[in-house]
Amino acid sequence: MNAIELRNLTKIYPQFTVNNVSLDVKRGYITGLIGPNGVGKSTLIKMMLGMVRPDSGSVKILGYDMPKQEIDIKQRIGIVSDDCFYYEDVSIRDMKRIIAPFYKKWNEQKFNRYLERFELSPKKKIGQLSKGMKIKFALAVALSHEAELLIMDEPTSGLDPVFRRELLDLLAEMMQDERNTIIFSTHITTDLDRIADYISFVNRGELVFSEPKDEVLDRYAIVKGDRQLLDSDIRKKFAGVRETAFGFEGLVEDRHAAEQLFGNYAVFEKASLEDIIYYNAKGGRVHA
Amino acid sequence: MLNLLRKDFIAAKTSLAMSILIFTIFCIFFMKKEMSMHFVGIITAFSTISSLTLNDTKNHNHHFLVTLPVSRKHIVQAKYVISLICIIIAVLASYIVHSLVKIAVPGYITVDYSMIDILVPIAIVLVLASVYLPLFYSLSEKGAPVLNVIFLCLFLIMADPVAQTIHRASLNGINYPLVYGSLCSTLILFAASCYVTVYLFTKKDL
């Protein structure tokens, strides 16, 4: 079953378009939404949350239609974003007093436990919290109303390595309940290397692929070799290729096809998620 | 809806304290003037509404509000309800304070207050809020503070001429059907304004 179903989502801005995106996010797994900055990841997430109205297409979350059943959806989801939009002049305790009554399944004990675990003082004002502390607070809120789906927009950007690791452990802990789902948008791919089950790659407003992470990493490969191996037809086989005076390095989508094409004349390496973003974003030929 | 009203009271504690301060200062400085009761009620009501709305845009708080399990329609409706509450409380408070001073210090306030003196300020702020709130919800976070400044300037420019007009009208004898008709029209305008604001805010991308 899918936790999120996006169908033919289109949003046209004067200088940017999210074009006909259809995406399924599997229930019970962590899906990483990756792509360079400004390609539409946050717009997609905003459309999921009903913050941006799509020009066409539909959004279904946990079986409910957005925006028709938005209240049912928001009872069941938690949102953690790198931008904290809480009221700056109120304390953590008062912010909790604002938020808690909206949720049917608010768990006060759980919330207090998370505050203790994250070393957040209830008396501290939101405006005095650092970015990392605000994310901790957002996470405490999201986890305290028994959210089945956690939607995270760049949650690790601006966090120190210690809390980033702690956050990933916490997410892994949450995933012990098979009903829970996480969608995690980021451009810090090392976080996803650790925890993601599925990867959805967005580039220039379009979905490039959405597949299990292991399949993606097996399918893509980095090919290195002498420039003499390249001609115009072969260059087209690469998602992106970087050429230097000494040779080339490129990303291919089909490792087996590339192995057959180059045989022993080239070296094949496992591509990382960062390689996949880099070469796809650059496209064509890159001169170093 | 109740949760949203509660939210306003918790989030805007400082703004509400500021409204009490405005009320006190204007009472002290204008008490002797003939139209003081109307003026203090109107300015306190409108400044409270504008600070409550501004409080939601200070840190892009609408982005937070729309993530809560509540529809945009309810967010707007709650703001209209709290505006109405603020208007009634501010005008009544002004009426009560002025009446108490009139009783406590005979001769200090010479005007006799009637029901009309409560209804007219309420109607004036309802009209102002009916124009202000749709503009506020359709403008961006940058536009909203500018709107507040424009309304405050308009308010200060218009306050005295409007007060004089009300005063002259009351001297010529009050046309009760006209007053009650105007109040009903104002309430209809307020409801229509709420409907328009819901439409505008529901369509808005955040």
CA distance A87 to chain B (A): 7
Q: Which of A204, A197, A183 is nearest to A6 (CA)?
A: A183
The DSSP result for A159-191, as a single string, is: --HHHHHHHHHHHHHHTTSTT-EEEEEES-HHH
> Could you tell me what percent of chain B has a pLDDT over 70?
95
- Whether the CB of A281 is below 8 Å from some CB of chain B: the reply is no
* Predicted interface score ipTM higher than 0.90: no
- Whether the CB of B140 is below 8 Å from some CB of chain A: the reply is no
Residue with the larger pLDDT of the pair B21 and A193: B21
Inter-chain residue contact B67 with A79, CB threshold 8 Å: yes
Given a contact cutoff of 8 angstroms between Cβ atoms, the answer to whether A184 and A30 are in contact is: yes
For residue B36, pLDDT over 90 is answered with no
- Whether the CB of A97 is below 8 Å from some CB of chain B: the reply is yes
Q: What is the pLDDT of residue A287?
A: 52
In DSSP terms, A9 is beta-bridged to A21
Inter-chain residue contact B6 with A51, CB threshold 8 Å: no
Q: Which residue in B has a C-alpha nearest to residue A103's C-alpha?
A: B69
Q: Which of B122, B158, B8, B162 is nearest to B75 (CA)?
A: B8
Inter-chain residue contact A101 with B3, CB threshold 8 Å: yes
Predicted confidence band at B89 (pLDDT cuts at 50, 70, 90)?
A: very high
Q: In B, which residues are within 8 Å of A100 by CB distance?
A: none
Q: What is the pLDDT of residue A288?
A: 52
Q: What is the pLDDT of residue A100?
A: 94
CA distance A185 to chain B (A): 17
- Burial class of residue A118 (count of CB atoms within 10 Å of its CB; 0-12, 13-18, 19+): middle
For residue B142, pLDDT over 80 is answered with no
Q: Smallest Cβ distance to B206: which of A51, A101, A102?
A: A51
- Whether the CB of B18 is below 8 Å from some CB of chain A: the reply is no
Given a contact cutoff of 8 angstroms between Cβ atoms, the answer to whether A139 and A80 are in contact is: yes
Inter-chain residue contact B69 with A98, CB threshold 8 Å: no
**Which residue numbers in chain A have pLDDT < 50?**
none
Predicted confidence band at B136 (pLDDT cuts at 50, 70, 90)?
A: confident
For chain A, which domains are there?
2-212 (3.40.50.300), 220-287 (no CATH)
| Rounded (5°) CA angle A117-A118-A124 | 120
The DSSP result for A187-231, as a single string, is: S-HHHHHHH-SEEEEEETTEEEEEEEHHHHHHH-EEEEE-GGG--
Q: Indicate which of B3, B58, B204, B205 best probes the interface with A, i.e. most A CBs within 10 Å of its own CB.
A: B205
- Whether the CB of B70 is below 8 Å from some CB of chain A: the reply is yes
Inter-chain residue contact A75 with B71, CB threshold 8 Å: no
Predicted confidence band at B154 (pLDDT cuts at 50, 70, 90)?
A: confident
Inter-chain residue contact A102 with B55, CB threshold 8 Å: no
Predicted confidence band at B145 (pLDDT cuts at 50, 70, 90)?
A: confident
Q: Which residue in A has a C-alpha nearest to residue B6's C-alpha?
A: A98
Q: What is the pLDDT of residue A199?
A: 92
Q: Which helix (H) or strand (E) holds A96?
A: helix A92-99
Task: Summarize pLDDT for B159-169 with one digit per residue, the tens.
Answer: 777 777 776 76
- Chain-wide mean pLDDT for chain B? 85
Given a contact cutoff of 8 angstroms between Cβ atoms, the answer to whether A91 and A126 are in contact is: yes
Six-digit token string for A6: 């996006």
C-alpha to C-alpha distances, A195 to A98, A117, A189, A214, B166, nearest whole angstrom: 32, 21, 10, 12, 70
Inter-chain residue contact B66 with A50, CB threshold 8 Å: yes
Task: Summarize pLDDT for B39-52 with one digit per residue, the tens.
Answer: 888 889 988 988 88
The torsion region of residue A49 among left (phi > 0), alpha (psi -120 to 50) and beta comes to: alpha
Cβ-based neighbours of B171, under 8 Å, separated by 6 or more: none
Return the number of other C-beta atoms located less than 10 Å from residue B142's C-beta.
8
Q: What is the pLDDT of residue A45?
A: 93
The DSSP result for A8-64, as a single string, is: EEEEEETTEEEEEEEEEEETTSEEEEE--TTSSHHHHHHHHHTSS--SEEEEEETTE
Task: Summarize pLDDT for B92-120 with one digit per residue, the tens.
Answer: 999 999 889 888 888 777 777 778 888 88
In DSSP terms, A65 is beta-bridged to A60
